[in-house]
Amino acid sequence: MKIDVTATGPATGSAKRTRATRHRVEAGRPWPLGATADRQGVNFAVYSGIADSVEVCLFAPDGSETERIALPALTDDVWHGYVHGLRPGQVYGLRVHGPYEPTQGQRCNPALLLMDPYAQALAAPVRGAPDQFGYVLGHADEDLAPSTTDNGRTAPKCRVVRSRFDWGDDQAPRVAPNETVFYEVHVKGFTQTMPDVPEALRGTYAGLASAPAIAHLQRLGVTSVELLPVQAFVDDLRLIELGLSNYWGYNTIAFFAPEPRYATPAALGLDGGVDEFKAMVKALHSAGIEVILDVVYNHTGEGNHLGPTLSLKGIDHSAYYRLAEEPRFCADITGTGNTVDTSSPPALRLVLDSLRYWVQEMHVDGFRFDLASALGRDAACDFTWRAPFFAAIAQDPVLSRAKLIAEPWDLGINGYQLGGFPTGWMEWNGRYRDAVRDYWTNTDASLPAFAASLCGSADMLEPRRRSPTASVNLVTVHDGFTLADLVSYNGKHNDANGEDNRDGEDHNRSWNCGAEGDTDDAEILALRQRQSRNLLATLFLSHGTPLLLGGDELGRTQRGNNNGYCQDNDLSWFDWERAAKHAPLQAFTADLMALRRSLPVVRLAAWPHRAAGMAPCVAVEWYSVWGLSMTPDEWNDPAVRCVSALMESTREGEDSLLVLFNSSGEETVFTLPADPQGRHWALRLDTRDDRVALSADAGATPAVSSADAANAADGAPAPDAAATATAVEAGATYTLLPHSLAAFTTPSRGPAPAPDAKSA
């Protein structure tokens, strides 16, 4: 079926289809795809393997269409033309004439103005509207009944960009993986209420680039900000009708364009925020901070067969999306209605071109791939580390050097692929999150799983020749409870989302410490603070790469909402007034990061070397409360809630680390492991309070003896750890409060004798 829109006129939306061309048009080039401006005009190139023709529609600032230009040339399924006299800032859209045969997976409808998939900027944020659908809403035949209503005046539009941004001496920080600390944060939510940021800049790229925002990141000691989606996305019509919005942004619609709602009004009218985004990256780089983008290439905001037609769906639906056996429908392994088909050359090219653009043109340092398993599926929809997507990135000299982080699952068959990604990739470790939460909340706890997680999930990664840094360790992220809510709520409270509390995760592995939500009970509040410190200390003293959810250091709460994707309000924004109340937690978090930086034994770049003739550089040993090696029975006893981990370094000049864990409800006396060399342990932190010792003199006369005088069972305060550590004898006892941990360091024993090659 071909849709005739020649009769469509002002009464139904835009100007008439036929209109004299005022600009001189030549064939131009089929590359690069998109709109490319130079001093004389703009070259347009659009891929479509099914189109009969492609028109570029030009618009005035008031949204009225001023001209339609049929692209005059076709080269290898790329429609292209060069339009003389056009300038950067020109607003445009596309109309694609071709088959509308939904039962064959084809959905071209020239009545709809489409966004250029390669557009580098949008004219305005994209919000869902009834006229964005390619079929007649409410019709009995649903998507089989095409709409002929022209939506040109109101449809989302693109903007031609020719950036002249001065990068100066900008250099990528290139933080080593084992030095990396990720900080997941939302561009708007971070500075929307930050009082020291000028009001006009709050919630924008410029706000994140401001001195107060960067100062906070530097005080913490994070190395890499991981930004929730900043590629332009769409607000679903359903959310708009509920008075909500797509706050998180996991509904991408333009893979090259920065989200325009984070641009200042002045920048939006010039280049859609492109230069403000670049200025943000440059400012963060100047502070030594990497910029990682959370990218959503697994699906788009066009939904399923009943979703809107905004771009790819109306250009060449079957080339970009995976289709079901009945091609009218999308193969949905993302839970969003559609799945981008990265086994298809046009779709793969789109994704790779976009990634390369963000690295080369926008200077970002890496990517966290949402539902990355969906990208690693071949033409048969089977996941494989040899999928075209992985192979293309591995051989790309630009992308292979970026930080690549996978969310290692999707909703398809064998979608959970934790540990299954190629060498060089990092992965969000959901197993780490679950094991650590379970241990500290006494929920379905497995001590072996907790121990394996603390050791960088070596049991999973080492056999696959993956490094410890491949495990991105996380306790909380945007999706789920914040840290404050994890210790304050047993159940979700998502009523504000408009779904009667049905949305969001039900199994949160959380513990409210005795009361649901707000309370003025001093004991419960003290326990919550201790639990928060326990979780943070575990995170930063584990092997692997830590990720901190932005705001956790400030006690940020979403009041029990564990799915704030649609809450663009104070439920999601940082509460900087509340932050002062949590200054001790912020300082504790920063000190933990500093302590981690001082301990190479925690920041392993590779697994302990155990090849013949080589001594291991790090050994992890586990002890019971008696100071003896853990037995198999103790490992498998669910009643055992206390354990000690000794990370022993054999390198000269490094410290070894001992961590005592007590997740039981009882005060517990630990015997520190004996040491044949008579070394003393320096107490660096005890989560009974928020102090961390950043310097140590473990060779001093012990201040804590076997009598455990300094933190006896009568509840006396812990040794002052604010400035320097307190020495403790090896073999002495140390008492931990219920639900707490303590960490000690001691100088390395030095290199161990290399094992005999014959006996190794």
CA-based max dimension of the chain: 95
- pLDDT for 595-631, tens place per residue? 999 999 999 998 875 444 444 455 789 999 999 999 9
Q: Are strands 182-185 and 224-227 parallel, antiparallel or unpaired?
A: parallel
Q: What pLDDT shows up at residue 749?
A: 75
Percent of the chain residues past pLDDT 90, beyond the cut: 84
Residue 201 backbone phi and psi in degrees, to 5: -105, -10
pLDDT given for residue 753 in this prediction? 56
pLDDT at 10 (0 to 100): 33
Which pLDDT does position 297 carry in this prediction? 99
Please report the pLDDT score of residue 748 as a whole number.
84
Whether 232 contacts 122, CB under 8 Å: yes
Contact 684/744 with Cβ under 8 angstroms? yes
Please name which of 25, 27, 4, 5 lies closest in space to residue 16, comparing C-alpha atoms: 5
Query: Lowest-pLDDT range, 212-226, 608-622, 695-709?
Result: 695-709
Query: Would you call 503 a catalytic residue per the annotation?
Result: no
Would you give the distance in Å from CA 119 to the centre of its chain?
A: 23
Report residue 621 as tokens: 């040993």
pLDDT value at 166 more than 50: yes
Mean pLDDT of 95-114: 99
For 627-679, strand residue ranges (E) read 642-649, 655-662, 668-671
The candidate with the shortest Cα–Cα distance to 267, out of 117, 119, 196, 163, is: 163
| Residue-level pLDDT at 307 | 98
Q: What confidence tens digit (pLDDT) does each residue in 530-562 have?
A: 999 999 999 999 999 999 999 999 999 999 999
Q: How far is it, in rounded angstroms, from Cα 256 to Cα 249?
A: 14
Question: SS3 letters for 150-205?
Answer: CCCCCCCCEECCCCCCCCCCCCCCCCCHHHCCEEEECHHHHHCCCCCCCHHHCCCH
Collect all residues with Cβ–Cβ distance below 8 Å to 371 and sequence separation of at least 6. Answer: 296, 298, 299, 334, 407, 409, 410, 411
Q: Is 675 exposed, middle or buried (0-12, 13-18, 19+ CB in 10 A)?
A: middle
How many other CB atoms are found less than 10 A from the CB of residue 599?
Answer: 20
731 pLDDT tier (thresholds 50, 70, 90): confident
Mean pLDDT of 361-372: 99
Judge residue 98's burial from the number of C-beta atoms within 10 Å of its C-beta, 0-12 exposed, 13-18 middle, 19 or more buried: buried
Q: Which of 195, 211, 219 is nearest to 587 (CA)?
A: 219
| Residues forming beta bridges with residue 660, ordered by sequence position | 644, 742
Give this prediction's pTM.
Answer: 0.94
Tens-place pLDDT, residues 454-508: 999 999 998 899 999 999 999 999 999 999 999 999 999 999 999 999 999 999 9
Sign of CA dihedral 354, 359, 361, 362: positive
Q: Which of 370, 438, 485, 553 is catalytic?
A: 370
Q: For 226, list phi and psi in degrees, rounded to 5.
A: -110, 105
User: What residue ranges define each of the domains in the chain, with the CATH number in brackets?
Assistant: 618-747 (2.60.40.1180)
276 included as an active-site residue = no
**Going by C-beta distance under 8 Å and a sequence separation of 6 or more, which residues neighbour residue 661?**
439, 538, 642, 643, 644, 645, 741
> What would the pLDDT profile of 317-345 be if each residue is shown by its tens digit?
999 999 999 999 999 999 999 999 999 99
Would the pLDDT of 689 be above 60? yes
What is the pairing mode between strands 642-649 and 680-686? unpaired
From 302, 341, 365, 407, the catalytic residue: 407
